Amino acid sequence: MSDTTSWDEQDEQAILDAVSAWVEKEVRPIARRHDQADTYPHELVEQMKELGLFGATIGQEYGGLGLSARTYARIVIKVASVWMAPSGIFNSHLIMASAIERCGTEAQKRHWLPKMATGEFRGGIGLTEPNAGTDLQAIRTVARRDGDSYIVNGAKTWITNSMHGHGLLLLVKTDPQAEPRHRGMSMLLAEKGDGFVVANKMSKLGYRAIDTCELVFEDYRVPADCLLGGEEGKGFLQAVGGLELGRINVASRGCGIAAGALELALRYAQERETFGKPIAQHQAIQLKLADMATRVEGARLLIEQAARKYDAHERCDLEASMAKLAGSEAGVFCASEAMRIFGGYSYSTEYEIERYYRDAMLMCIGEGTNEVLRTVIAKQLVERNRI
Ligand SMILES: Cc1cc2nc3c(=O)[nH]c(=O)nc-3n(C[C@H](O)[C@H](O)[C@H](O)COP(=O)(O)OP(=O)(O)OC[C@H]3O[C@@H](n4cnc5c(N)ncnc54)[C@H](O)[C@@H]3O)c2cc1C
């Protein structure tokens, strides 16, 4: 997030209104088709460029919009309330951009951020490997220094934006023998080239249409000046240093799914009749709607709280973790309750709700699984409340 933003509340509301109008006009009508066919929504990418979404949180001095985390979270909630998947196209890209803005050298910022802000260069983050997700320090991809470049060998999996994007922020081992392990880890700004192989587009339960791939690196050369921050051994800290914003993002995606599922369920419950009245008038359905709405608003408030603190440069690790937990679990809860409200029709691909159900669980897994997140929250609670 930039410190030099020049937006006031009214401007940010105007941006939100423009995104809402775009989502309703352009995203809603094509979501089901692309999701079912698992085809990439290229047309949305061009529209996102025009809206400035690829530069949403990049500082204005680098050509981005420089939006606050709070406004950005609201944008993500809106997009995900209609179709979560496209939010990944600019979310993962902006996690890469924010790492460059936070940790990059001035030359790296000037080189990468302007073309990322326009969407001319679209990126993502390459952390996970077949043997290492939560335990990132166990990665095996190695970058060996050779003159003025690094030679990368290894494999990554589950990497979003890696087929249609132009490159990645790549977590590698520059010193595989280092102890503790994180001291041997670095991040490379890796533009696609010879030896950067997209081996397989993965077939997924949800979050379909978006390219999530297995990658192989075979003697892939990266110029040495693409080492993030210019210093080896900082990669792990650079990766975890961006977790607050990443968690606010994922929280917003989950909250958006929850809000969208509630909206669909509210409508259906008033249309569908059993025993001579709309099902919204049966108490069993009312209980579900009430619980769903309460989860949505609870998640929204936690996201607002975390984002406000983030924007004020206050510590917000606990708040962002709680927001992520609440937002993602709200998504799963509301999508699942909405399925019950839709009865048999929830299983029909003619209706949208089954997509929300398939998309929701990912938010409990990405950006720190909720199991690990709960342990993080508990540790922070103890730390802040020592007796
Ligand atoms: C659709 C999709 C898109 C993705 N996109 C990206 C991407 O763009 N870039 C990227 O780098 N990665 C991406 N990922 C990977 C994702 O970040 C990992 O799946 C996630 O970090 C979990 O790692 P894992 O799958 O290896 O699970 P594991 O780490 O093997 O965990 C398995 C289970 O064990 C639990 N567990 C593990 N360690 C502990 C512990 N210490 N305490 C308690 N419980 C524990 C976990 O909570 C989980 O329940 C994506 C994944 C998916 C499914």
- Ligand 1 pocket (Cβ < 6 Å) reads 92, 124-128, 133-134, 158-160, 204, 207, 212, 362, 365-366, 369, 371-372, 375
DSSP 345: G
Q: Given this model, what pLDDT does residue 241 score? A: 85
Ligand 1 atom closest to the CA of 156, numbered from 1: 11
- What pLDDT, on the 0 to 100 scale, is given for residue 242? 83
Domain span(s) for CATH 1.10.540.10 in the chain: 9-118
Phi, psi of 167 (to 5 degrees): 175, -175
The number of the ligand 1 atom at minimal distance from the alpha carbon of 92 is 8
Which stretches of the chain score pLDDT less than 70? 1-5
Phi, psi of 351 (to 5 degrees): -105, 160
Among residues 159, 218, 231, which one has the least CA distance to residue 188?
A: 231
Residue 221, beta-bridge partner list: 151
Closest-CA residue, ligand 1 atom 31, reads 134
pLDDT of residue 3: 53
Could you tell me whether strands 167-173 and 125-126 are parallel, antiparallel, or unpaired per DSSP bridges? parallel
Query: What does the alpha-carbon distance between residue 256 and residue 218 come to, in Å, rounded to a whole number?
Result: 39
Q: Write out the catalytic residue numbers.
A: 367
- Is pTM beyond 0.85 here? yes
CA 86 to ligand 1 center in whole angstroms: 21
> Which of 172, 249, 358, 365 best tests ligand 1's pocket when mutated (most atoms within 8 Å of CB)?
365
List, in sequence order, every beta strand (DSSP E) within the chain. 125-126, 142-146, 149-160, 167-173, 185-191, 196-201, 212-223, 273-274, 277-278
Specify the residue with its C-alpha closest to ligand 1, atom 26. Answer: 133
pLDDT of residue 5: 62
Distance 372 CA to ligand 1 centre (A): 10
Domain with CATH 2.40.110.10 in the chain: 125-236
Atom of ligand 1 at shortest range from CA of 128: 11
243/265 Cα distance (integer angstroms): 33
| Homologous superfamily of domain range 9-118 | Acyl-CoA dehydrogenase/oxidase, N-terminal domain (1.10.540.10)
Cα of 135 to ligand 1 centre, how many Å? Answer: 9
d(CA 80, CA 85): 7
Reading the block at residue 58, the tokens are: 């990049």
Which residues are CB-neighbours of 20 under 8 A, at least 6 positions away? Answer: 78
Report the C-alpha gap between 41 and 381 in whole angstroms: 42
Q: What is the CATH number of domain 242-384?
A: 1.20.140.10
Which of 159, 369, 373 has most ligand 1 atoms within 8 Å of its beta carbon, as the pocket-test mutant?
A: 369
Give the nearest ligand 1 atom to 127 CA. 11
Distance, CA of 334 to CA of 351 (rounded, Å) = 16
**The CATH fold of domain 125-236:** Butyryl-CoA Dehydrogenase, subunit A; domain 2 (2.40.110)
My answer on whether omega of the bond before 180 falls inside 30° of 0, hence cis, is yes
CA-closest residue to ligand 1 atom 14: 158
pLDDT at 1: 55
The residues of the chain that CATH labels 1.20.140.10 are 242-384
Distance 133 CA to ligand 1 centre (A): 4
CB contact set of 60 (below 8 Å; sequence gap of 6+): 2, 4, 5, 6, 66
